[in-house]
């Protein structure tokens, strides 16, 4: 039974037991109301709500996502609990999230363990709380704190919760025993002030002004996502209307958002991430090898970032570099990174020291001999990779996993040169590797089932979002990026400016525009990579401006100028004045008469270039599902999560409309790049298939 009830000395102990996280399905909602009604009939003196399985209630049941909710609805449950004629204590262990926290807010007292997490993360699914959360919470804690919690979606720790006043105490011993003792102390009639809906928060002009300011900041941060901004407004409503009016507006808003395109997109990416993390069916029987220690070759920016990611997960790691000087620079970079985290309050000094202590350095490959996993993170040169893997094969123990962080090179060639290709996979991290969540797990032609399953388990342990990719130039993400950058560059050649392109795509929701990204990463990196590319594999005119900047010494932020000019040690930047003359020369040489380019064309060409290239990737089996591509772009390339990824965005745009738009682009001067992929040309059923 999902709801279990025991009675002792007039106190009802109600246990929610719906493994693994006590999600609030219809059965749990119905059972909770039944338990409260039974306690009413029995004239209970108090009740304690507790969750089994080491957690309270982790929110809605994902199996009901996208389906019409079956009665009783959650507001009825919360109202039943809050309106009980006896005190109800929420005993919170583990997670009290979403509807779980709303249940706890309906209770009259709240006690939690030190490890508890409490929050209202509905905005991460394009929603707002729908059972009174935006109205009850600001009647319990400071409204600004409530608005931050709800609009940010990130839960509070127990320490943060008690400081804010969300919980009454933190259990020092057995949670249930202490909750029952509290119930005994407060048994009898519920004091009216413990019912949050009866409270009237004070709406001072300063408080309203502060919420207005937060709403504006949230709108900037949300990059077009609706729910976070709406959530702040609902908290403000709690200060200016009755609870009944506010709760009705909240519920109406919740139902409207639940049917929105943004909520559908966020549900899609939620499930797509879960699907991507699972091993492909043909290797599901593979046995994950134990990873107890990790080695990294290369102490540059990527290598040190990977090392921090591994150390953050509690694993010891050793970094090998060719020279002591390069190794020392890398270790200093790591120490500085952790010092910055402490200064920003993200880590305490003790934990930072512990993580630094897990990282060792060496200039001797022999020190990698006993590592269970070695990740090569050296310069992007096939000859360099061959040399490193030859050295690794000579020293690393049999059965150890060997991984390359290459972002473009042929993993199969690297694996074959290693002499043990079954043990080789790609682990393509994104910089900064200790921050970015995406990890492309590249499956080589000879990668064994055990190797692939081990890589996915390692990704999960280090809190990465993995996506399995096949071998091709650029794998999933960087291969698609070439198409995106191509269209951005051609749009400038035809009449737009880099600033216009960047601004149009940022308004669409991208974290940064393609030209600002090039400045950040270094324009010369792709310039050097193109030197080894075959003619016809890219459009020269699309990168003519990039090449001109590099050849003039404007490499991006690292030289203080690129597409933009940057103030020394500052965040301010402006368009590089040298661009106008460069663009004019490029257009003249190509015989292009510039035209006005609308922002809608910028977005459509860049987005559909991504989606079409994604289609070719699916045609070739480089990615297994459209959702895998979306996971890559949302987690690695700044694609707005509330749009679901480039494949889902194109799906929502409409198959017929997408084909029509691509056909328009195919008729233009650069139409040779708009051959329709088989995915979009023929397989409409695959487009509409849920992830």
Contact 190, 89 (CB under 8 A): no
User: What CATH number has the domain spanning 478-554+582-687?
Assistant: 1.10.1040.50
Q: What is the pLDDT of residues 170-202, one digit of tens each?
A: 999 999 999 999 999 999 888 888 999 999 998
CA distances for 364 relative to 218, 296, 322, 367, 369, angstroms: 50, 12, 8, 6, 10
Confidence class for position 460, pLDDT limits 50, 70, 90: very high
pLDDT of 62 higher than 80: no
What the block records as the tokens of 619 is: 């045609």
CB atoms under 10 Å from CB of 163, counted, come to 13
Residue 250 clears pLDDT 50, i.e. is over it: yes
What pLDDT is recorded for position 690?
41
- Residue whose tokens read 């922002």: 599
| Helical pair 205-222 and 227-240, crossing angle rounded to 10 deg | 170
Measured between alpha carbons, how far is residue 191 from residues 133, 187, 428, 548 in Å?
21, 11, 58, 74
Query: Which band of pLDDT confidence, cut at 50, 70 and 90, is reported for residue 528?
Result: confident
Which residue in the block uniquely carries the two structure tokens 């959360």?
133
Q: Could you state, in order of their start, the residue ranges of all structural domains in the chain?
A: 3-258, 290-474, 478-554+582-687
* Known active-site residue 122: yes
pLDDT over threshold 90, residue 550: yes
Residue 166: C-alpha distances to residues 142, 162, 220, 242 (Å): 10, 6, 28, 21
Q: Please give the average per-residue pLDDT across 226-255, as a whole number.
A: 97
- Distance between CA atoms of residues 665 and 650, nearest Å: 15
Spatial CA neighbour of 75 closest among 253, 231, 268: 253
Local structure of residue 614 (DSSP, 8 states)? H
- pTM of the full predicted structure? 0.93
pLDDT at 688: 47
Predicted local confidence at residue 68, as pLDDT: 76
- The pLDDT score that the predictor gives to residue 191 is 83
List strands edge to edge, sheet with 401-404: 359-362, 317-320, 294-297, 373-376, 401-404, 424-429, 438-442, 465-469
pLDDT at position 683: 64
pLDDT more than 70, % of the chain: 98
The predicted pLDDT at position 689 comes to: 44
Tell me which of 28, 122, 273, 440 is the catalytic residue.
122
Model pLDDT, residue 686: 52
| pLDDT at residue 1 greater than cutoff 90 | no
**Average pLDDT across the chain, whole number:** 94
Q: Is residue 127 classed as helix, strand or coil in its secondary structure?
A: coil
Residue 19 Cα to chain centre, angstroms: 25
Confidence of residue 572 (pLDDT cuts 50, 70, 90): confident
C-alpha–C-alpha distance, residues 411 and 47, integer Å? 60
CATH topology of domain 290-474: Rossmann fold (3.40.50)
Tokens of 377: 């993170």
pLDDT of residue 268: 96
Q: Report the alpha-carbon distance of residue 482 to residue 492 in Å, rounded.
A: 16
CATH class of 3-258: alpha beta
Q: What is the mean pLDDT of residues 133-157?
A: 97
Q: What confidence category does residue 567 fall into, taking pLDDT thresholds of 50, 70 and 90?
A: confident
Residue 20 CB coordination number (10 Å):
9
581: enclosing H helix or E strand? helix 579-590
152 has pLDDT over 70: yes
% of the chain at pLDDT higher than 90: 89
Distance CA 130, CA 106 (A): 13
Annotated catalytic residue, options 28, 45, 82, 102: 102
Cα 6 from chain centroid (whole Å): 41
**Catalytic residue at 664?**
no
pLDDT, tens only, 471-508:
999 999 999 999 999 999 999 999 999 999 999 999 99
Q: What is the pLDDT of residues 587-611, one digit of tens each?
A: 999 999 999 999 999 999 999 999 9
Distance CA 344, CA 356 (A): 17
């Amino acid at each position: 039974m999902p709801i279990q009830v025991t009675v002792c000395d007039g106190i009802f102990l109600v246990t929610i037991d719906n493994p693994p996280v006590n999600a609030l399905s219809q059965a749990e909602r119905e059972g909770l109301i039944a338990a409260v009604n039974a306690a009413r009939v029995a004239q209970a003196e108090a009740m304690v709500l507790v969750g089994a399985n080491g957690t309270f209630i982790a929110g809605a049941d994902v199996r009901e996502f996208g389906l019409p909710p079956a009665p009783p609805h959650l507001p009825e449950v919360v109202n039943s609990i809050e309106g009980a004629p006896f005190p109800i204590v929420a005993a919170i262990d583990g997670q009290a999230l979403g509807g779980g926290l709303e249940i706890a807010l309906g209770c009259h007292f709240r006690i939690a363990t030190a490890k508890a997490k409490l929050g209202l993360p509905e905005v991460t699914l394009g929603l707002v709380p729908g059972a009174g959360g935006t109205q009850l919470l600001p009647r319990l804690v400071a409204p600004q704190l409530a608005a931050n919690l709800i609009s940010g979606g990130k839960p509070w720790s127990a320490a943060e919760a008690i400081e804010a006043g969300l919980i009454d105490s933190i259990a020092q011993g057995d949670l249930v025993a202490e909750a029952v003792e509290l119930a005994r102390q407060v048994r009898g009639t519920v004091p009216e002030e413990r019912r949050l809906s009866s409270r009237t928060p004070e709406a001072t002009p300063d408080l309203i002004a502060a919420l207005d300011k937060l709403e504006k900041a949230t709108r900037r941060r949300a990059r077009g996502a609706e729910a976070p901004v709406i959530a702040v407004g609902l908290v403000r409503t709690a200060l200016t209307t009755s609870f009944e009016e506010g709760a009705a507006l909240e519920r109406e808003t919740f139902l409207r958002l639940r049917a929105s395109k943004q909520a559908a997109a966020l549900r899609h990416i939620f499930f797509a991430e879960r699907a991507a993390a699972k091993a492909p069916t043909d290797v599901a029987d593979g046995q994950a090898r134990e990873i107890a220690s990790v080695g990294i070759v290369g102490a540059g920016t990527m290598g040190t970032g990977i090392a921090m990611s591994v150390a953050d997960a509690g694993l010891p790691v050793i970094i090998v570099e060719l020279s002591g000087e390069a190794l020392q620079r890398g270790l200093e970079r790591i120490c500085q990174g952790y010092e910055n985290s402490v200064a920003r309050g993200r880590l305490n000094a003790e934990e930072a020291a512990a993580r630094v202590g897990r990282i060792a350095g060496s200039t001797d490959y022999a020190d990698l001999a006993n590592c269970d996993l070695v990740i090569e993170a050296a310069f992007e040169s096939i000859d360099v990779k061959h040399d490193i893997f030859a050295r690794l094969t000579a020293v690393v123990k049999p059965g150890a996993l060997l991984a390359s962080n290459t972002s473009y090179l042929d993993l199969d060639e690297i694996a074959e040169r290693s002499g043990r290709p079954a043990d080789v996979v790609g682990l393509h991290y994104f910089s900064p590797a200790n921050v970015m969540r995406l990890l492309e797990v590249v499956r080589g032609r000879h990668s064994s089932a055990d190797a692939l399953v081990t890589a996915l388990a390692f990704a999960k342990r280090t809190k990465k979002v993995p996506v399995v990719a096949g071998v091709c130039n650029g794998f999933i993400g960087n291969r698609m990026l070439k198409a995106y950058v191509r269209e951005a560059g051609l749009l400038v050649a035809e009449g737009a400016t880099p600033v216009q392109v960047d601004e149009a795509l940022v308004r669409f929701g991208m974290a940064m525009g393609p030209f600002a990204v090039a400045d950040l990463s270094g324009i010369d990196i792709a310039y050097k990579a193109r030197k080894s590319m075959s003619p016809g594999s890219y459009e020269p005119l699309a990168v003519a401006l990039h090449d001109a900047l590099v050849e003039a010494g404007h490499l991006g932020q690292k030289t203080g100028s690129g597409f933009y000019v940057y103030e020394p040690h500052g965040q301010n930047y402006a368009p590089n004045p040298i661009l106008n003359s460069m663009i004019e020369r490029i257009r003249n040489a190509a015989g292009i008469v510039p035209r006005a380019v609308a922002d809608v064309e910028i977005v459509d060409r860049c987005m559909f270039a991504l989606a079409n290239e994604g289609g070719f990737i699916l045609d070739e089996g480089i990615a297994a599902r459209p959702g895998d591509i979306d996971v890559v772009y949302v987690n690695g390339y700044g694609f707005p999560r509330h749009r679901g990824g480039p494949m889902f965005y194109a799906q929502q745009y409409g198959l017929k409309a997408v084909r029509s738009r691509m056909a328009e682009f195919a008729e233009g001067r650069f139409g040779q790049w708009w051959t329709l992929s088989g995915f979009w040309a023929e397989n409409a059923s695959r487009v509409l298939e849920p992830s």
